[in-house]
């Protein structure tokens, strides 16, 4: 399972495409800027290229190979229909700046997907262009800031629960806010009283994840929203966990003003080893006027869809806070997500959230006798089950259990997050896993829990059956080698 | 539902284990008044794969695909031939359906690819270090501006008129909410890219100068001169590139004094896709600045058996560790697009990229010469790579729309890019890649001739 | 050339190792007067991927794709919706680019799939054993006839008029060179499939009776009656099925007395592809006959560690061992099409296949009722599954061609299938699968109405 | 690396497609033939299906993963462009019995490919419909028989060299001929004198593989053809090894009357784990009139392409011996092969055969000091290098070396074929392997050769690093289990 680097395999003369040989006497309008230096890139023939990447791919674990229970990351089945649709020439081979009359189908996709997202969340509008979840958070926070500024209210603070995704405080800070933590109550939920106590004229709003990162539904969401609104603030909801509640409760009904939706989590667009994502943001009536460019407007009478850009945003939509990205957003993800949504329909989406929550509770109750489940007594969980390292033998850690899972043929769960639980293990099975798979996972986890409690030293060096043993991350960070340093064969 | 494996007997057995009567009971924490009893009203129900595919195909056919037109659009999104191998590789389930490589022992495929990608980008840009990708060129450009501010502790941002207006727009939007002071003037319809005027505006408050190479009108600015001027004032030079194929023919920005090079990688491997997902590239020439870089980084290390391996590293810069002190809020990057880029670049190699660039330039020169002969048309540029600006004797936008009706996508009207730009309405940005045939050029020339007569 | 990894320095180094001056020297055994000095004259030289793709796309656009028409063709090749998953799986390099599994230790993927496939086919056909596939239905049918001859040691072959004429034609061609004596009469344009007449012709010389189920006009013969009659005379019943989806609704031939069941598997998973590659299915009800079967067989066994595994087995029947005494000369089978079939069948399962068959039948009944109302049109069939014969009041072939000009592929004219068949010219075989919409049916009805008025 | 069977994973109620529930009262025209008995098939949901087959696939070796040096099987790179083209709707979604005016593109593909095959081989015509190599052999032999019968000449015997592929004698027998062997000379080629001696009025023809299965070019091919022709017979050439000589010598120039071409060997259409293949047969002027239906005829003046079927074969082509298969042959393979051919062009094909032969000779000369190369002294080989087990320690076999190669990460070579060499090992690298890969293979083979000569017992139990250890083939054949016997869960 060793595969050399392309720089070690290729040469500067090898090439996997056939192109005309450049002519020395060809016309040249590059002025004095023609390249003088070697780029020093390796080329491979096509067969070598296929083989290199095919071999590399086999060193990866993936949802196509087995359960991928990363809590909060929502690794569900990625339907191949989505991939097929995204590759239809009418979607894949269209330029973002073609005249509007030649892209009616693209605008139709955006319109249909927008409609679904708005209806599913009970909101008023949706900003489609954010490129991923964190970008969506930024969009939502900027909407809030734009709305506050529009009313001349320069609030400075955003409240974030300590269990929040790291992106939440980073986003608020990037948007120029001071971030303050709100504590959790003993059940792992936002402490409503502490929150209320902190509200005031300096608080722009709150960022709350619901269901939260402990896998629990924030029962007091409506009360939180009401309190924030009463104090003149606005409510951002991190929608990373929308998978658990779609079709069962609408964030808009709970007073949320803005929420991003990770199309690559809830709506099955592939994660691709770390992106691309897509993070449309649904907006309440209060925030809708501030959505970023570009957006579409559908004529209620004719059904015609208009594209609003810098040119025509003008007097009609003066509040838009501007552009967050070039072009229209992650169109390739829109087609996939819409395909997924249409496949499920309103009934299928509801079934999906039900199965996701059922699967998580099944895992919670199949393991809570051998693993500590910090909020297990608080009732049912949502789409993910949270455990801690409480009870492990000295020296045994969550990391060891995670690496042990690799040897059992599973991807590890999310480790050490949320921070509110010691040695957290957050397990999200999603709705696309069968009971048989869950049973196998439970069996593996039970055995690992016993070994961790018994202090089985072989766990400390797991994995033993993976393409690599544990990697030295400290060395990587101490003396970073971030690019290959040699020279490619000529 | 075909994607849901649980059977009804499964569900019953599981509920029994949980001790709940129904799935609805599991949602007891949702206040009853907000819990929906059934599917959201007014929305369609589940549909078969065949039905959904038909519906989506019908929508797709309402777009004019580039392959069915004579196609000359660019302006930050380029149509190149993508080898079939690229799409095959990115559809390998092990790449397509993997997550961010948090568990390196079982993610070496993605990690080694990212290490190779970073090296390819760094070399293409003439830089020391590149990251594992950003959302796209426009957001990468803003991240570079913020990084420059962190490094210089200054807030003045000087943006060239040659920068893609969407990139400018993103920067202006973001700057509304942060402390950056952006100086930007619209470009003018001249052959000269305006380096002198730009240099004249660099001051001691300038954190960075942002220049596009080649610029939005296809002109090629003199990076070295601008770099020297910027550095003299203690400012950094950020170079944005929207067409990486150009760097097969042009000197790398990193070799001409740029401090940070950002760009859009879409042209290599990714395809048009109506504007996204694309691929932000980000590289720096001074490796000491790496801890101020945004985005994921993949680094080489060894495993417990001493074997070479790769991990995500320097994550102390990132939001999931640093939270509000992170260098960026970016989390998801553009991994699969980075793979597409890297596979295509591997197929090209030094030789292929050079030849591809030469072929683009050859055809673009051919097209410029031909179009310059059309009455009422003048080629603006002295220098260009594969796109150049035509000055027409009437407004370009309506003309572009009219030609589209006849299956000619003639390019991008400057009036669309700069709706409030004075004197730019007659400009038409024409892009000529290897996918354009000599017949296409003739078709465009004839169509322009007809439309302008 | 992009597919050739050797570089010129590689070639030089290798020639040196070999001790040859040039590659041409390696061809010294080719007589000089026949050795070509350069590329074959008059043929084009190498082309880029982009150029080839364009050329092939241009050719493909000269065909009318079924998706762009109202489509009612069948007659042995059926258009069903193939889930996207199927194509994804068959494009996995490990399946697509593997060879016949001669080395079972590193071919369990293909082997286990074949074992599953064999079981699926055997169950679908109501048989004990199925092989790992044949070229297609027509050649499988001939192989069955030859197998029957081996088993019965008789040479008389009685072929029903309801058998697909191409299948008949293959048998007649082959019989020209072997000892089989084929008895066959063209079908007549009647609702009755003619079981009585067929049964009357079975004799003591009859090795086998070959019956299609449903037959070429969509009629459903009474297999059990024919089987009983054949068995009484010591003959075998071979049943050919061209539409496996029908067996989701009809009783399996193996349960109705068939000895050998063969068929075309294309309808499940494979797609139209202008007639090939397709998938021959071959199964027998009596497992004792397995050593007389043609084609590859996959069997279960254990490895040296006692783990379950699969191997190609009983290869002593095959040509690479038995040479001129082999049961068939078949070597390559249709492995990838078998995979496509098996994946699609796994997605369907008992429930899906039944539902798919029901939906086909529902739409076909709807279409028959509607078309029967068109003046000048009469539905011939009393029984059918998803295809039936219309009797028109004029010749069908020119009408089919005319409708095609308007984007309606109305079906297959019997006159095309039976160019020398008397009284069949007015017959039109119409096939209705789940891909047909009610709008399509209406379009066909209206088009027929117009064309016949 | 255990993956359960679909019958063990699925249930009769699970389904991976969404279809309307059948209605009990729906119209029914099935007469009395509606299904009464259970089929007993398992279904899987879509995610389970993807995972099952993805996991299964990973137990396969494939050309995408590494060298696949099966002699005579020609495992070369399969370009993905071919796959893309074959899936264009105008090719993939077209019915074989559509009116001719709606399939001009399909006929165009057949015409272009035919032209290439005829020109590359120097023949007069080509029969496109044979479904695979062996089917092509049958086509060729039937053409010969039809031609002989047409002149009233009922010859009975076909001569086949002992080194022939097993399909050759099987084909001749299937076509009703008696088969007689011709011996090889000491250099591994057909013994010309022995052949001449056997020719006579009862000999219909010969079947010769050229390059032959020892990897040698039959130098006397023209003399053989002349002798056969002089004796009133016809010459069939097995074209399985055409890969070695394409663009360098034309079989038609050597007097061949019929030769099949394996599109899945020479022209890179994928082997797919055992097919589909495609075996067009090129024909000399003498045999062209006997080609099977359907075929196409191009009007020399208008360039129009006509399809000839039963209907119109009539008086114009009375010799055609009839139909060998339904429809038109392996269209999906024609598009792939044509794509491959156009990509190479006449120059690229010539380069490909040169590189194929270069690679084979490089292996021959890199190993002939450690392995016995029976015909190594006879000169250069063609596209494959032949070795024997001569010199192995007692008890060590070709099989052991082959299984040992698996542990080295390579697919084994062809074993025990051709039969003329003891313990034959036939290595065909093809032109799409790099020198670096060949060098690694050579290193592995050298080490295995040493171990086999030294009698290393660990080789006897190889492979040790494969998904399975050696499988018990005897048990499989003794008590055949050819289908799963249980009942699927309801």
What CATH number has the domain bearing residue B76? Answer: 3.90.1150.10
CATH number at residue D305: 3.40.640.10
Q: Which residues contact D235 (CB under 8 A, 6 or more apart)?
A: D205, D206, D208, D224, D225, D228, D229, D255, D256, D257, D258
Last residue in a domain, options A337, A369, A388: A337
Question: Within this chain, do residues C70 and C98 fall inside the same structural domain, yes or no?
Answer: no
Task: Determine contact: B186 vs chain A, CB below 8 A.
Answer: no
Answer whether residue B189 is part of any domain. Answer: yes
Q: Per the CB < 8 Å rule, is C84 touching A81?
A: yes
Q: Is the pLDDT confidence value at B319 over 80?
A: no
Which chains reach chain A with 3 or more Cβ–Cβ distances below 8 angstroms?
B, C, D
Return d(Cα C265, Cα C244) in angstroms, integer. 6
Question: Within this chain, do residues D209 and D257 fall inside the same structural domain, yes or no?
Answer: yes
Q: Is the pLDDT confidence value at A148 over 80?
A: yes
- Which of D13, D47, D50 has its CB closest to that of B7? D13
Residue with tokens 């190979």: A65
DSSP E strand stretches across A119-266: 125-127, 157-161, 178-182, 203-209, 234-238, 258-260
Q: Per the CB < 8 Å rule, is C57 touching B67?
A: yes
Question: Within this chain, do residues C325 and C423 fall inside the same structural domain, yes or no?
Answer: no
Reported as a single tens digit per residue, the pLDDT across C281-301 is: 999 999 999 999 999 999 999
Return d(Cα A279, Cα A132) in angstroms, integer. 4
Question: Within this chain, do residues A289 and A392 fall inside the same structural domain, yes or no?
Answer: no
Alpha-carbon distances of D131 from A241, C276, C342, D93, D277, rounded to whole Å: 53, 8, 21, 20, 6
Give residue B313's region: left, alpha or beta (phi > 0; psi -120 to 50). beta
- Which of D13, D44, D80 has its CB closest to that of B84? D80
Return d(Cα C46, Cα D344) in angstroms, integer. 4
Confidence of residue D311 (pLDDT cuts 50, 70, 90): confident
Burial letters C196-208, b for 16+ CB under 10 A, else e = eebbeebeebbbb
Bridge partners of D179?
Answer: D158
Task: Determine contact: C85 vs chain A, CB below 8 A.
Answer: yes
Q: Per the CB < 8 Å rule, is C5 touching D433?
A: yes
Question: Within this chain, do residues B226 and B215 fall inside the same structural domain, yes or no?
Answer: yes
Question: Within this chain, do residues A359 and A288 fall inside the same structural domain, yes or no?
Answer: no
Question: Within this chain, do residues A251 and A128 fall inside the same structural domain, yes or no?
Answer: yes
Reported as a single tens digit per residue, the pLDDT across D38-64 is: 999 999 999 999 999 999 999 999 999
Size of interface A-D (CB pairs under 8 A): 47
Identify from D9, D20, D43, D46 which residue to disrupt to test chain B contact, counting B C-beta atoms within 10 A and taking the largest count.
Answer: D46
Return d(Cα D38, Cα C350) in angstroms, integer. 8
Q: Per the CB < 8 Å rule, is D176 touching C177?
A: yes
Task: Determine contact: B77 vs chain A, CB below 8 A.
Answer: yes
Q: Is the pLDDT confidence value at C333 over 90?
A: no
- What DSSP assignment string belongs to A304-360? -EEEE-HHHHTTT-TT---BSSSTTS-HHHHHHHHHHHHHHHHHHHHHHHHHHHHHH
DSSP E strand stretches across B21-178: 70-71, 129-130, 156-159
Contact residues on chain C for B92, CB-CB shorter than 8 A: 92-93
Confidence of residue A311 (pLDDT cuts 50, 70, 90): confident
* pLDDT for res C248: 98
CA angle B322, B323, B329 (to 5 degrees): 105
Task: Determine contact: B104 vs chain A, CB below 8 A.
Answer: yes
Confidence of residue D172 (pLDDT cuts 50, 70, 90): very high
Phi, psi of B389 (to 5 degrees): -105, 130
Question: Within this chain, do residues A215 and A316 fall inside the same structural domain, yes or no?
Answer: yes
Answer whether residue B42 is part of any domain. Answer: no
Answer whether residue C10 is part of any domain. Answer: no
Identify from C1, C5, C49 which residue to disrupt to test chain B contact, counting B C-beta atoms within 10 A and taking the largest count.
Answer: C49
Confidence of residue C320 (pLDDT cuts 50, 70, 90): low
* Closest Cα in chain A, distance from residue B233 (Å): 24
Reported as a single tens digit per residue, the pLDDT across B122-131 is: 999 999 999 9
Model pTM score = 0.97
Under DSSP, is residue A128 helix (H, G, I), strand (E, B) or coil? coil
Question: Within this chain, do residues C277 and C150 fall inside the same structural domain, yes or no?
Answer: yes
Answer whether residue B25 is part of any domain. Answer: no
Last residue in a domain, options B303, B326, B344: B344
Between positions 416 and 445 of D, the ones with CB within 8 A of A are: 432-434, 436
Question: Within this chain, do residues C271 and C219 fall inside the same structural domain, yes or no?
Answer: yes
Mean of pLDDT values over B358-363: 98
Whether residue D408 contacts residue D463, with contact meaning beta carbons closer than 8 Å, is answered with no
Nearest chain B alpha carbon to A20: B355
Question: Within this chain, do residues A314 and A380 fall inside the same structural domain, yes or no?
Answer: no
Q: Is the pLDDT confidence value at A94 over 80?
A: yes
Contact residues on chain B for A402, CB-CB shorter than 8 A: 103
Alpha helix segments (H runs only) across C153-273: 165-175, 195-200, 223-232
Tokens for A216, please give them: 């629990």
Answer whether residue A37 is part of any domain. Answer: no
Confidence of residue C321 (pLDDT cuts 50, 70, 90): low
Residue with tokens 């309606």: C408
Reported as a single tens digit per residue, the pLDDT across B32-74 is: 999 999 999 999 999 999 999 999 999 999 999 999 999 999 9
Examine residue D62 and say whether the peptide bond preceding it is cis (omega within 30 degrees of 0).
Answer: no
Query: Which residues of A make CB contacts under 8 Å with C?
Result: 11, 13-19, 44-48, 50, 54, 79-81, 83-84
**Which among A357, A292, A298 is positioned nearest to A326, based on CA atoms?**
A292
Tokens for C387, please give them: 């295809």
Answer whether residue D442 is part of any domain. Answer: yes
Alpha-carbon distances of B452 from A60, B374, B398, B408, C230, rounded to whole Å: 57, 9, 11, 15, 82
Mean of pLDDT values over A204-214: 94
Last residue in a domain, options C324, C344, C364: C344
Report the share of chain D in percent with pLDDT over 90.
Answer: 90
Alpha helix segments (H runs only) across A368-471: 398-407, 435-454
Answer whether residue B33 is part of any domain. Answer: no
Return d(Cα B36, Cα A120) in angstroms, integer. 11
Answer whether residue D146 is part of any domain. Answer: yes
Nearest chain D alpha carbon to B85: D80
Q: Per the CB < 8 Å rule, is B87 touching D18?
A: no
* pLDDT for res B320: 66
Q: What is the mean pLDDT of chain D?
A: 95
Last residue in a domain, options D286, D315, D337: D337
Answer whether residue C12 is part of any domain. Answer: no
Answer whether residue D363 is part of any domain. Answer: yes
Neighbours of C401 (CB within 10 A): 17
Question: Within this chain, do residues B143 and B207 fall inside the same structural domain, yes or no?
Answer: yes
Mean of pLDDT values over B97-113: 97
Task: Determine contact: C35 vs chain D, CB below 8 A.
Answer: yes
Answer whether residue A115 is part of any domain. Answer: yes
The CA-to-CA distance between both ends of chain D, in Å, stands at 27
CATH number at residue B91: 3.40.640.10
Return d(Cα A126, Cα A258) in angstroms, integer. 9
Torsion (CA) A355, A356, A357, A361 in degrees, nearest 10: 90
Task: Determine contact: B434 vs chain A, CB below 8 A.
Answer: yes
Answer whether residue D13 is part of any domain. Answer: no
* pLDDT for res A111: 97
Question: Within this chain, do residues C146 and C261 fall inside the same structural domain, yes or no?
Answer: yes
Q: Per the CB < 8 Å rule, is C348 touching D16?
A: yes
Q: Is the pLDDT confidence value at A167 over 90?
A: no
Contact residues on chain C for B84, CB-CB shorter than 8 A: 49, 53
Question: Within this chain, do residues A262 and A366 fall inside the same structural domain, yes or no?
Answer: no
Question: Within this chain, do residues D332 and D352 fall inside the same structural domain, yes or no?
Answer: no
Phi, psi of A428 (to 5 degrees): -120, 105
- Which of B88, B347, B435 has its CB closest to that of C50? B435
- Helices and strands in chain C, H and E counts: 15, 15
Torsion (CA) C57, C61, C62, C66 in degrees, nearest 10: 130
Q: Is the pLDDT confidence value at D1 over 70?
A: no
Q: Where in the sequence is the domain holding C419, given as residue range(s)? A: 66-82+349-452
Mean of pLDDT values over D296-310: 90
Q: What is the ipTM of this complex?
A: 0.97
- Which of A142, A165, A328 has its CB closest to that of B274? A328
Q: What is the pairing mode between strands D281-283 and D295-298?
A: unpaired
Confidence of residue C319 (pLDDT cuts 50, 70, 90): low
Mean of pLDDT values over D162-169: 84
- Which of D43, D338, D481 has its CB closest to that of C352? D43
Q: Please tell me the total count of domains within chain D.
A: 2
Q: Is the pLDDT confidence value at A60 over 90?
A: yes
CA angle C361, C365, C369 (to 5 degrees): 170
CA angle A298, A301, A304 (to 5 degrees): 40
For B99, the enclosing helix (H) or strand (E) is none
Q: Per the CB < 8 Å rule, is C83 touching B347?
A: no
Q: What is the mean pLDDT of chain A?
A: 95
Answer whether residue D487 is part of any domain. Answer: no
Q: Per the CB < 8 Å rule, is C67 touching B83?
A: no
Contact residues on chain A for C49, CB-CB shorter than 8 A: 17-18
CATH number at residue A375: 3.90.1150.10
Answer whether residue D429 is part of any domain. Answer: yes
Task: Determine contact: C185 vs chain D, CB below 8 A.
Answer: no
Question: Within this chain, do residues A226 and A121 fall inside the same structural domain, yes or no?
Answer: yes
Task: Determine contact: C301 vs chain D, CB below 8 A.
Answer: yes
Q: Please tell me the total count of domains within chain B.
A: 2
Question: Within this chain, do residues B166 and B288 fall inside the same structural domain, yes or no?
Answer: yes
Question: What's chain C's Rg over C-alpha atoms?
Answer: 25
Task: Determine contact: A51 vs chain D, CB below 8 A.
Answer: yes
Confidence of residue B120 (pLDDT cuts 50, 70, 90): very high
Identify from D28, D97, D420 which residue to disrupt to test chain C contact, counting C C-beta atoms within 10 A and taking the largest count.
Answer: D97
Question: Within this chain, do residues B322 and B360 fall inside the same structural domain, yes or no?
Answer: no
| Among the ranges given (A258-262, A353-357, B326-330), the one the predictor scored with the smallest mean pLDDT | B326-330
Answer whether residue C187 is part of any domain. Answer: yes
Q: Where in the sequence is the domain holding A197, given as residue range(s)? A: 81-337
Question: Within this chain, do residues C280 and C322 fall inside the same structural domain, yes or no?
Answer: yes
Burial letters C228-252, b for 16+ CB under 10 A, else e = ebbeebebbbbbbbbbbbbbbbbbb
Nearest chain C alpha carbon to D143: C177
Question: Within this chain, do residues D161 and D244 fall inside the same structural domain, yes or no?
Answer: yes
* pLDDT for res A187: 84
Please say whether the dihedral angle defined by the alpha carbons of residues D431, D432, D435 and D440, taken in this order, is positive or negative. Answer: negative
Whether residue C52 contacts residue C407, with contact meaning beta carbons closer than 8 Å, is answered with no
pLDDT, greater one: D420 or C163: C163
Last residue in a domain, options C292, C324, C344: C344
Contact residues on chain C for D292, CB-CB shorter than 8 A: 173
Number of Cα atoms under 13 Å in the Cβ half of residue C335: 33
Residue with tokens 């380029």: B78
**Which among B311, B350, B299, B300 is positioned nearest to B120, based on CA atoms?**
B350
Return d(Cα C318, Cα A482) in angstroms, integer. 57
Question: Within this chain, do residues B370 and B293 fall inside the same structural domain, yes or no?
Answer: no
Task: Determine contact: B402 vs chain A, CB below 8 A.
Answer: no
Question: Within this chain, do residues D224 and D333 fall inside the same structural domain, yes or no?
Answer: yes
* pLDDT for res B198: 97
Confidence of residue D174 (pLDDT cuts 50, 70, 90): confident
Q: What is the mean pLDDT of chain B?
A: 96
Alpha helix segments (H runs only) across A75-132: 80-86, 89-92, 104-121
Question: Within this chain, do residues C183 and C331 fall inside the same structural domain, yes or no?
Answer: yes
Answer whether residue C73 is part of any domain. Answer: yes
Last residue in a domain, options D337, D364, D382: D337
């Amino acid at each position: 399972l060793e595969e050399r680097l392309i720089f070690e395999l290729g040469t500067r003369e090898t090439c996997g495409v056939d192109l005309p040989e450049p002519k020395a006497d060809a016309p040249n309008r590059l002025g004095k800027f023609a390249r003088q230096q070697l780029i020093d890139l390796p080329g491979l023939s096509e067969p070598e290229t296929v083989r290199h990447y095919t071999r590399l791919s086999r060193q990866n674990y993936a949802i196509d190979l087995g359960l991928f229970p990363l809590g909060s990351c929502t690794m569900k089945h990625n339907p191949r229909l989505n991939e097929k649709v995204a590759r239809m020439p009418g979607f894949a081979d269209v330029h973002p700046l073609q005249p509007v009359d030649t892209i009616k189908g693209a605008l139709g996709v955006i319109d249909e997907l927008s409609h679904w997202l708005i209806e599913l969340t009970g909101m008023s509008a949706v900003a489609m262009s954010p490129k991923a979840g964190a970008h969506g958070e930024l969009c939502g926070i900027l909407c809030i800031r734009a709305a506050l500024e529009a009313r001349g209210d320069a609030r400075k603070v955003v409240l974030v629960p300590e269990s929040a995704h790291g992106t939440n405080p980073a986003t608020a800070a990037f948007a120029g806010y001071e971030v303050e933590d709100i504590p959790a109550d003993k059940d792992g939920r936002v402490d409503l009283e502490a929150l209320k106590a902190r509200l005031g004229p300096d608080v722009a709003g709150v960022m709350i994840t619901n269901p939260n990162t402990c896998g629990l539904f924030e029962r007091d969401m409506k009360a939180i929203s009401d309190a924030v609104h009463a104090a003149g603030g606005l409510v951002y909801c991190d929608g990373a966990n929308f998978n658990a509640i779609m079709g069962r409760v609408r964030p808009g009904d709970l007073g949320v003003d803005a929420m991003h939706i990770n199309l690559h989590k809830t709506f099955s667009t592939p994660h691709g080893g770390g992106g691309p994502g897509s993070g449309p943001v649904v907006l309440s009536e209060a925030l809708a006027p501030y959505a970023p460019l570009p957006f579409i407007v559908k004529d209620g009478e004719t059904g015609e869809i208009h594209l609003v850009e810098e040119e025509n945003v003008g007097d009609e939509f003066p509040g838009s806070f501007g552009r967050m990205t070039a072009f229209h957003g992650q169109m390739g993800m829109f087609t996939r997500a819409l395909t997924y949504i249409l496949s499920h329909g309103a009934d299928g989406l509801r079934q999906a959230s039900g199965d996701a929550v059922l699967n998580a509770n099944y895992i919670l109750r199949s393991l809570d006798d051998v693993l500590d489940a910090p909020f297990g007594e608080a009732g049912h969980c949502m789409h993910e089950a949270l455990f801690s390292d409480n009870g492990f033998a000295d020296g045994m850690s969550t990391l060891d259990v995670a690496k042990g899972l690799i040897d059992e043929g599973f991807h590890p769960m999310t480790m050490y997050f949320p921070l509110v639980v010691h040695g957290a293990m957050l397990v999200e099975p999603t709705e696309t896993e069968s009971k048989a798979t869950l049973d196998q996972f439970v069996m593996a986890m039970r055995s690992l829990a016993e070994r961790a409690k018994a202090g089985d030293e072989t766990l400390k060096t797991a994995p033993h059956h993976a393409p690599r043993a544990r990697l030295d991350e400290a060395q990587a960070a101490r003396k970073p080698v971030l690019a290959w340093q040699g020279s490619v064969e000529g | 539902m075909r994607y849901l494996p649980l059977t009804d007997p499964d569900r019953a057995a599981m509920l029994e284990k949980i001790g709940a009567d129904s799935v609805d009971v599991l949602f007891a924490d949702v206040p009853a008044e907000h819990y929906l009893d059934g599917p959201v009203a007014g929305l369609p129900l589940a549909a078969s794969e065949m039905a959904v595919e038909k519906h989506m195909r019908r929508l797709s056919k309402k777009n004019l695909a580039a392959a069915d037109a004579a196609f000359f659009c660019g302006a930050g999104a380029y149509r190149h031939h993508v080898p079939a191998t690229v799409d095959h590789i990115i559809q390998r389930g092990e790449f397509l359906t993997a997550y961010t490589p948090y568990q390196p022992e079982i993610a070496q495929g993605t990690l080694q690819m990212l290490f190779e990608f970073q090296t390819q980008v760094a070399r293409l840009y003439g830089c020391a270090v590149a990251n594992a990708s950003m959302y796209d060129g426009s957001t990468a450009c803003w991240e570079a501006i913020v990084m420059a501010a962190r490094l210089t502790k200054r807030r003045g941002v000087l943006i060239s008129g040659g920068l893609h207006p969407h990139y400018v727009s993103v920067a202006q939007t973001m700057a509304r909410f942060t402390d950056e002071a952006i100086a930007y003037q619209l470009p003018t319809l001249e052959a000269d890219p305006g380096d002198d005027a730009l240099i004249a505006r660099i001051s001691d408050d300038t954190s960075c100068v942002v220049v596009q190479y080649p610029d939005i009108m296809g002109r090629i600015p003199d990076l070295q001169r601008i770099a020297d001027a910027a550095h003299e004032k203690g400012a950094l030079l950020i170079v944005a590139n929207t067409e990486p194929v150009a760097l097969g023919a042009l000197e790398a920005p990193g070799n001409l004094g740029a401090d940070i090079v950002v760009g859009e990688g879409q042209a290599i491997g990714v395809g048009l896709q109506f504007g996204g997902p694309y691929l932000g590239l980000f590289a720096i020439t001074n490796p000491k600045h790496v801890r101020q870089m945004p985005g994921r980084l993949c680094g080489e290390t060894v495993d417990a058996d001493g074997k070479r391996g790769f991990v995500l590293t320097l994550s102390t810069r990132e939001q999931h560790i640093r939270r509000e002190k992170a260098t960026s809020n970016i989390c998801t990057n553009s991994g699969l697009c980075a793979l597409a880029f890297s596979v295509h670049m591997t197929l090209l190699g030094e030789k292929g990229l050079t030849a591809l660039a030469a072929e683009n330039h050859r055809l673009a020169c051919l097209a410029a010469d031909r179009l310059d002969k059309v009455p009422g048309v003048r080629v603006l540029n002295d220098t260009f790579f594969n796109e150049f600006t035509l000055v027409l004797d009437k407004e370009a936008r309506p003309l572009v729309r009219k030609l589209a009706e006849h299956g000619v996508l003639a390019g991008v009207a400057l009036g669309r890019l700069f709706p409030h730009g004075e004197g730019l309405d007659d400009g038409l940005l024409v892009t000529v890649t290897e996918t354009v045939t000599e017949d296409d050029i003739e078709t465009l020339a004839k169509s322009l001739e007809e439309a302008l007569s």
